[in-house]
Amino acid sequence: MPLLHKIAGIVVVCAVIIGLTLPGTRRGRDAGASAARSGATSPSTPAPSATRAPAPAMSTASAPPSSSAPPQPSPSASAEASAPIPPAAPGAVAVKADELGEVPVLMYHRIMKKPELSLDRSTKELRDELTRLAEEGYVPVTAAEFVAGRFDAVPAGRHPVVLTFDDSTPGQFGLDAQGGPAPDTAVAIIQDVARRYPGFRPVATFYLNEDLFLLGDRAAAGLAWLTRHGYEIGNHTVTHPDLSTMSRKRVQDEIGGIEDKIVSLTGAHATTFAYPFGAIPHKRAWAQRQDGRYDFQGVLLAGWKPSESPFDKDFDRFAITRVRSEGKIKENDCRTFCSTAWLDELDAHPERRYTSDGDPRAVTFPKSRERRLGKGYRAQARSY
C-alpha cells in the first residue's frame, strides 16, 4: 500500500477514536437549545417566577395534571456540579436557615370529643397539638405545596408542617347552618388556632373516601368551602382497601372511582394521594397514574418519621413518610415514633428540622449539609 494511503488511513482511525471519546457537550447543548425553543424548562434552570418549584396549575383544570409538574431535578451539567455555591444572605444566616432539614408530615384520622379507637384524637388533643405547633414556629403548608417545594408562605426562621387527615370523617369537617365549618370539627379548630396565632396558616390536606364527611347532598358545597379557603382535597380511594392485595384493575378502579367523584364535585383533580393503611400495591405506578383519570404529583405513606426536604437528594415524592399524631404511649412504639415524640426530638435538636430562609428563589443550608442537596438545585443553593 502506498505510504500516503497508509497515513490517510491512520488519520481516519484517529479521528474516529477522538470523536468517540470526546464528551458530548455540544449534543447536550444543542438539545437544551432545542428544548428552550420549544418552550420546555429544565429543573436546573430557574423558572421566570420567583418561586423555586412552581406547583402544578390544576385548580381549575378538568383534565388530570400533567406528569411534568412539579418539575423533577435532572442530572446537572458538570459545570454546574463543580461551580461554587454562593454565600447565604445575612438574614438567612441569622435565623440559621436549613432548607435541607426534616419536615413533619402529621397524619390524623378521626377527631372526636371522646376517642373510641387507637387512631382517634380528641378535639382537645388536636387543639393542644396545633397550639404547640404555632408556639414553636411551625407554619402549615398543604401536601401539594410541600411536594412542589413551594414554601413562599413560610417566613424566615419558621418551619413548615403538613397536616393531613385521612378518611373524610365527620369529625374532621362539616357544615353548620350558615355554611361554615361545624363547631368542634378539625377545620373549626384549625381556623380558631390560626385566629389566635396569626402566623399559623389555616390549611391542611384531606384524603377522601366515599363517605365525604357524611355531607350527603351538601358535599359539593362543603368541598367548595374547603378549596376556597386554601385546604387541599386529596385521594384516598373509594372504600379504603388494602391495595397490596389487589390487581392493577382493582387498584385503579378504587383510586379512579373517588377521583371521578372529586372531579365531578370540584371541577379539579387531586394533586396528591395517600395509601390506605400505608399499603403499597404490587407496582407503585398503578397508584401514581392512570391515563385520562389521575396523575398524582405526590404519594404519601403511613407514618413513622418526618419527611426529607423536597430539596434533599433522598426525597421520593412517591413515598413521602408521615408521623402519626399521638402522645408518648406504649402502643406502636409511639414513645419514639409518634408526633409528640418527634416534635420533642426536633425541638431538642433544631439543627435537624427545616428552617426557612424566607426567600423562595434560594435553597439555603449550612455547608455541612451540602452533600444532601438534590441534583438540579445547585443553581439555587446558598450556604454558610
Q: Which of 110, 122, 232 is CA-nearest to residue 171?
A: 110
For the chain, how many helices (H) and strands (E)? 12, 14
7 falls in which pLDDT band (50, 70, 90)? very low
Q: What is the pLDDT of residue 240?
A: 99
| Domains defined along the chain, listed by start | 1-40 (no CATH), 102-354 (3.20.20.370)
- Residues 360-379, mean pLDDT to the nearest whole number: 97
Distance (Å, whole) CA 54 – CA 70: 6
Q: Looking at the predicted structure, is the pLDDT value of residue 47 above 50?
A: no
SS percent in the chain: helix, strand, coil, step 5: 40, 15, 45
Looking at residue 123, its amino acid is: T
pLDDT in tens, 175-190: 999 999 999 999 999 9
What is the per-residue pLDDT for 79?
57
Cα–Cα distances in Å, from 259 out to 59, 191, 231, 245?
Answer: 14, 27, 17, 21
pTM score of the predicted model: 0.81
Mean pLDDT of 202-222: 98
Average confidence (pLDDT) over 108-129 = 97
List pLDDT tens digits, range 279-300: 999 999 999 999 999 999 999 9
Average pLDDT over residues 314-327: 98
Q: Which residues, in sequence order, are CB contacts of 46 under 8 Å at separation 6+?
A: 361, 379, 380
Q: Which residue has the higher pLDDT, 34 or 360?
A: 360
Asked if residue 289 lies in contact with residue 65, where contact means CB atoms within 8 angstroms, the answer is no
User: For the chain, how many residues are written?
Assistant: 384
DSSP symbol at 50:
S
Residues 346-357 have a mean pLDDT of 98
Rounded distance between C-alpha atoms, residue 292 and residue 287, angstroms: 14
With a CB cutoff of 8 Å and minimum separation 6, the contacts of 33 are none
